[in-house]
Amino acid sequence: MPLSPEQITRFLKSVHPYDALPVDVLETIASQVEAWEVERDFAVYDLGETLPGLFIIHEGQIEITDENGVVVSHLGLRNSFGERGLLRDGKAATSARADAHSVLLVLPPALFRELIAEHDVVAKFFNRARGPRPQQETLATSPVDTLMARDPATCSPDTSVQEAAQQMRARGISSLCITEGETLRGIVTVRDLSGKVVAEALPAATPISQVMTRSPLTLSPGAIGSDVLHAMMEHRIGHIPIAEGGRLVGIVTQTDLTRYQAVSSAELVSRIARADSAEEMAKVTAEIPRLLVQLVAGGNRHEVVTRLITDIADTTTRRLLALAEAKLGPPPVPYLWLACGSQGRQEQTGVSDQDNCLMLDDSVREGDMPYFAALAKFVSDGLDTCGYFYCPGDMMATNPRWCQPVSIWRDYFAGWIAKPNPEAQMLASVMFDLRPIGGALDLFADLQAETLKAASANSIFVAHMISNSLKHTPPLGLLRGFATIRSGEHRNTLDLKHNGVVPVVDLGRIYALQGQLPEAGTRARLKAAEAAGVLSPSGARDLLDAYDLIAETRLEHQVAMVKRGEKPDNYLAPTDLSDFERSHLRDAFVVVKTMQSAVGHGKGMLG
């Protein structure tokens, strides 16, 4: 089917990033583009071939397979493919075949590279990695929706001044917004009540509308911190309602500004370290969602954000251990509290359960075990109080199975390696992420080295672990490139934990096992695997880029939920993403699936 330059130009106007280019540039592209009309099963290109250019699907569907013949993606209208090879050495990194009669636009390699060099929007689109985060935001540059309190206290204009004062006292606040429906009519502060009501001896039944500040100064949600600071200083006020189209959506007070500056992981850690009870610590950990918002808004990379949030969990655990010893007395023998799962990898986000265990010195006696059972219960209950809910799989030190002498732990690992049944695979996967938190650290050092050495030397165990790691697959499908959850509470969403970060976490664990690498964090494992030669430089680069994109998308989803006043989770609706974001997230999932395929075929690395 012949396409005229006018038709190609019109089509490109509907495809990102070309829709952001000037018309004369689009016309230049259209004059150089070649249109291919291909039938079903036509081999567009094979792995390793020199690419004729960048492909854009004008009509039809294309199947992409990796070097092992495993299908990693089905692409449809407006999708691009071939860019990975062009951005490297010009050779195809995958194979592409037509799933149906298709029409493909082919941009010559020189034109593709010219567009990337001369147009930032094109360069950004074809760079899977997000690149550097924006410069870290300060109070002055932070968006107002990061600073403001949502759902501010309100009352109607006919509320009495006494009722208003009682409401402010009960809630421990210094202002009330006066609304009719959702429309803001005024604001009243403690200063108004003292200066206009008490000082003038007005009756308690006086309507609040008589003393409120009418049509107060407001800012929009799009304002930034400096707007708030300047307005407060210029107008000598301490409360600024945030309104959108006359509708009240929040309020910023001087207290909010002070709190924003005070909320940091170090400040939370300090408060937890001085706490005298789990309940006191819970008041601090309740601020973690706000810290998450602030850290992400501040331009911090995902591994920094999760590390800082995990540090709070570590401090909470160590403080609870200290409080337990103060209550129960000194431990009868040395012990070590360890975390596994996301805390073990230092990858906690805004939603985490607890996964932990206790290793005891081999001198422990049966009569000592009630002490450690009580210690485990005290700490685990305290963690639950602080928002780290009990592990659904009972992977906690309160389970006698996971509160044992080091010799028993050594037998556990030896047994799992010798007989890698499904339960052993699951347990080994969890336990390979162990990280000491508090107690006698030397109890674990030799055991970790011994286990890694024995596990990596057992090819059958490694094969079983690889098989187990491939059970979590990226959510690639036909519909817009994603396979969403089909039913239940989270229907039509992507699980960014189990089908997003977990497949990469599993790959990192396999590489660590193959290379006997002691690192626990996923990103650290991938970089160590590259340094050890377990993972090729190109494979490491691709997988790190993909992991960064998936992990940051997950964090940004949780931050958006916190901003809406919702409890953060891992379920993202693809419809919440732009075409740009969907395209890159799909590319990241394709990389992960390709790497899984390489590991599954015993290659362990991507060339």
pLDDT reading at 579 higher than 50: yes
Q: What tokens does 476 get?
A: 């690639």
Dist CA 345 CA 354 (whole Å): 13
- DSSP 8-state assignment for residue 61: -
* CATH code 2.60.120.10 for 5-125: yes
DSSP 3-state percent helix, strand, coil across the chain (nearest 5): 50, 15, 35
Instruction: Say if residue 130's pLDDT is above 50.
Output: no
Topology (CATH) of 470-600: Four Helix Bundle (Hemerythrin (Met), subunit A) (1.20.120)
Least confident of 128-132, 164-168, 256-260: 128-132
What's the whole-number mean pLDDT along residues 541-546? 92
pLDDT score at 281? 96
Please determine, for residue 87, whether its predicted confidence score (pLDDT) is greater than 90.
no
User: What are the boundaries of each domain within the chain?
Assistant: 5-125, 144-259, 263-466, 470-600
Distance CA 370, CA 20 (A): 68
pLDDT of residue 166: 95
* Region 513-517 average pLDDT: 88
Q: Average model confidence (pLDDT) for the chain?
A: 88
Top pLDDT among 370 and 143 is at 370
Smallest CA-to-CA distance from 604 within 524, 521, 512 is with: 512
**Least confident piece of the model among 3-12, 59-68, 448-457, 558-567:** 59-68
pLDDT tens per residue across span 182-228: 899 999 999 999 999 999 999 999 999 999 999 899 998 878 888 88
d(CA 71, CA 360): 48
Model pLDDT, residue 135: 47
Between CA 507 and CA 599 the distance in angstroms is: 8
- Mean local confidence (pLDDT), 520-529: 91
Burial (0-12, 13-18, 19+ Cβ within 10 Å), 42? middle
pLDDT tier at 251 (50, 70, 90 boundaries)?
A: very high
Tokens of 233: 């200083």
Instruction: Give the model confidence (pLDDT) of 17-30 as tens digits.
Output: 888 888 899 999 99
Q: What is the mean pLDDT of residues 269-297?
A: 90
Contact 48, 91 (CB under 8 A): yes
Report the pLDDT value the prediction gives residue 54, as an integer from 0 to 100.
Answer: 94
- More confident: 223 or 438: 438
Confidence of residue 140 (pLDDT cuts 50, 70, 90): confident
Kindly tell me the burial class for residue 477, based on how many C-beta atoms sit within 10 Å of its own C-beta (0-12, 13-18, 19 or more): middle
Q: What φ, ψ does residue 278 adopt, rounded to 5°?
A: -65, -35
Report pLDDT for 134: 46
Q: Where are the beta strands (DSSP E) in 367-517?
A: 403-405, 435-439, 494-495
Six-digit token string for 587: 């590319």
CATH of 144-259, one of 3.10.50.30, 3.60.40.10, 3.30.390.50, 3.10.580.10: 3.10.580.10
Q: Does domain 263-466 have CATH number 3.30.460.10?
A: yes
Which band of pLDDT confidence, cut at 50, 70 and 90, is reported for residue 263? low
Coil, helix or strand for 15? coil
What pLDDT, on the 0 to 100 scale, is given for residue 605?
A: 42
Chain center to CA of 312: 17
Per-residue confidence (pLDDT) for residue 137, from 0 to 100: 56
Check residue 20 and give its pLDDT: 80
Per cent of the chain over pLDDT 70 is 95
CA distance 137 to 295: 9
Tokens 């002055």 identify what position?
Answer: 140
Residue 184 is classified by DSSP as E
- The reported pLDDT for the residue numbered 37 is 92
Question: Given this model, what pLDDT does residue 124 score?
Answer: 74
Determine what percent of the chain is predicted with pLDDT higher than 90. Answer: 52
Side-chain-facing half-sphere of 75: CA atoms under 13 Å: 27
Write the DSSP string, 116-177.
Answer: HHH-HHHHHHT--S--SPPPPP-TTTSBHHHHSEES--EE-TT-BHHHHHHHHHHHT-SEEE
pLDDT at 398: 97
| Mode of pairing for the β-strands spanning 102-107 and 247-253 | unpaired
